[in-house]
């Protein structure tokens, strides 16, 4: 599906001529011409074009088949953004944890003897279905020992040892928050006197041989959340998720539609490139005319200020819905990212009716 926003496409009454080549498109009308190039590895089949139409406020829409392509290249400086923890963290290797927001070192040169996956957060609710005798794990929690790293869906559990930024004896929920000393961002929380939880959206984990390379916050959050959705949908065949804050509140409902979308944006030759740009924080005139990304296509519903409460309650009781917990501030960041993605789409593509509920439609970059 291509939608073209250009000066030529917006002329109300003039005839429009669209030329489709294997590696580019041109739109001509009323003496104006706009061209859009395609990235390397993406080519079109001109003979497959169909459904050309012009919608007010949208520009031109058409459908055309894509030829086989190569995956988009990983850009320098952000290869760590998509970080599959279960596969990337290895025993007997040294790692450094950085604050994603400011780059301050949080955990310095830590070697893990064991890296173990944690069960789902609601695993104890299922024990009764597994055991024919009283729950042997009742009131027992999993705490990492020295040299352990436990990996959850959205967090890591470490033995806090003598970390100076960890509260020694938390007396309230507020006192359990682990804060970056430099930028005061919440990084995680203390689970017990010897265990600390770091959220994967707040820290960058690099091998000790490497170094910290900053990534724009919105890109990092999108990539980490997308990776969580992909891993869980693949492992558990679940496609509905609730995004919850560390305060227990539900902020967003997400329904994953497609995980194999290639998103291509071209600035073209027009000065109107700022109208529809999903990832405007990196697709700027200085970064080149074309960008391509793997992306997830999702429906979402905001739940702040008691919006969609009945739907959120129904999802809460549904075993097919998987909860994901992040810091409350990050949940609000994600909601803003989703909203900006939706408003960056043409108006006709921003919503989708499903089961009599009007959902917002957007992309999350992976």
Domains present along the chain, CATH in parentheses: 2-63 (no CATH), 85-207 (2.170.150), 217-267+280-365 (no CATH)
Task: Supply the pLDDT for residue 362.
Answer: 76
Instruction: Report the range out of 80-94, 127-141, 193-207, 280-294 with the highest average pLDDT.
Output: 193-207
The secondary structure of residue 29, as a DSSP letter, is: E
d(CA 91, CA 104): 24
- For all residues of the chain together, what is the average pLDDT? 80
What is the residue-wise DSSP string for 247-273? Answer: TS-EEEEEEEEEEEEEEEEE-TT-TTT
Instruction: Report the range out of 29-38, 195-204, 206-215 with the highest average pLDDT.
Output: 195-204
In the predicted structure, residue 282 carries a pLDDT above the cut 50: no
d(CA 364, CA 157): 27
Instruction: Report the range out of 118-122, 133-137, 169-173, 187-191 with the highest average pLDDT.
Output: 187-191
User: Is pLDDT larger for residue 2 or for residue 222?
Assistant: 222
Distance (Å) of CA 94 to CA 81, 89, 110: 19, 10, 5
What are the beta bridge partners of residue 239?
A: none
Task: Supply the pLDDT for residue 126.
Answer: 65
d(CA 82, CA 223): 5
Q: 């005061």: which residue's tokens?
A: 184
Task: Supply the pLDDT for residue 76.
Answer: 35
d(CA 316, CA 323): 8
User: pLDDT tens-digit profile of 70-120?
Assistant: 554 444 333 333 345 667 788 999 999 999 999 999 998 899 999 998 887
In the predicted structure, residue 290 carries a pLDDT above the cut 90: no
Question: CA torsion angle for 83, 88, 93, 99 (degrees, to 10)?
Answer: 10
User: Do 51 and 62 contact (CB within 8 A), yes or no?
Assistant: yes
What are the beta bridge partners of residue 203?
A: 99
Determine which of 67-81, 175-189, 233-247, 323-337 has the lowest per-residue pLDDT on average: 67-81
Q: 């829409």: which residue's tokens?
A: 61
Handedness of CA 42, 47, 49, 50 (dihedral sign): negative
User: Is pLDDT larger for residue 356 or for residue 192?
Assistant: 192
Task: Supply the pLDDT for residue 201.
Answer: 96
d(CA 86, CA 119): 12
Consecutive H or E run containing 129: helix 123-130
User: Is pLDDT larger for residue 55 or for residue 296?
Assistant: 296
pTM over the 0.85 mark: no
φ/ψ (deg, to 5) at 201: -80, -5
User: Is pLDDT larger for residue 122 or for residue 236?
Assistant: 236
Under 8 Å CB-to-CB from 197, ≥6 apart: which residues?
A: 155, 156, 157, 178, 188, 189, 190, 191
Per-residue pLDDT band for 58 (boundaries 50, 70, 90) equals: confident
User: Do 72 and 86 contact (CB within 8 A), yes or no?
Assistant: no
Instruction: Report the range out of 77-86, 135-144, 247-256, 354-363 with the highest average pLDDT.
Output: 247-256
Instruction: Report the range out of 33-47, 76-90, 166-180, 276-290 with the highest average pLDDT.
Output: 33-47
């Amino acid at each position: 599906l291509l939608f073209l926003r250009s000066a030529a496409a917006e002329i109300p009454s003039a005839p429009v001529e669209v030329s489709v080549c294997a590696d580019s498109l041109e739109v001509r009308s009323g003496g104006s011409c706009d061209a859009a190039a395609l990235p390397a590895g993406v080519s079109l089949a001109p003979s497959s074009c169909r459904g050309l139409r012009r919608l007010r406020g949208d520009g031109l829409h058409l459908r055309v088949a894509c030829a086989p392509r190569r995956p988009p290249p990983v850009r320098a400086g952000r290869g760590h953004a998509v970080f599959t923890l279960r596969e990337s963290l290895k025993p007997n290797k040294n790692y450094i944890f950085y604050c994603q927001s400011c780059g301050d070192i949080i955990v310095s040169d830590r070697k893990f003897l064991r890296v173990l996956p944690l069960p789902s957060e609601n695993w104890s609710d299922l024990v009764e279905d597994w055991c024919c005798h009283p729950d042997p794990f009742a009131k027992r929690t999993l705490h990492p020992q020295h040299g352990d790293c436990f990996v959850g869906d959205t967090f890591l559990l470490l033995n806090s040892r003598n970390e100076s930024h960890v509260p020694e004896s938390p007396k309230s929920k507020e006192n359990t928050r682990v804060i970056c000393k430099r930028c005061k961002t919440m990084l995680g929380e203390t689970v017990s006197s010897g265990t600390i939880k770091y959220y994967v959206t707040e820290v960058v984990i690099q091998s000790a041989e490497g170094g910290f390379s900053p990534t724009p916050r919105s890109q990092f959050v999108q990539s980490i959340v997308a990776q969580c959705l992909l891993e869980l949908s693949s492992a558990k065949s679940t496609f509905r998720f609730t995004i919850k804050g560390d305060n227990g509140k539900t902020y967003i409902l997400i329904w994953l539609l497609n995980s194999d979308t290639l998103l291509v944006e071209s600035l073209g030759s027009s000065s109107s490139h700022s109208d529809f740009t999903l990832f405007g924080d990196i697709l700027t005139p200085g970064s080149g005319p074309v960008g391509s990304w793997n992306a997830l296509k999702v429906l979402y519903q905001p739940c702040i200020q008691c919006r969609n409460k009945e739907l959120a309650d129904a999802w809460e009781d549904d075993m097919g819905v998987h909860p994901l917990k992040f810091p409350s501030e990050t949940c609000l960041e994600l909601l803003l990212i989703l909203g900006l993605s939706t408003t960056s789409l043409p108006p006709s593509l921003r919503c989708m009716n499903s089961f009599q509920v009007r959902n917002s439609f957007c992309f999350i970059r992976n």
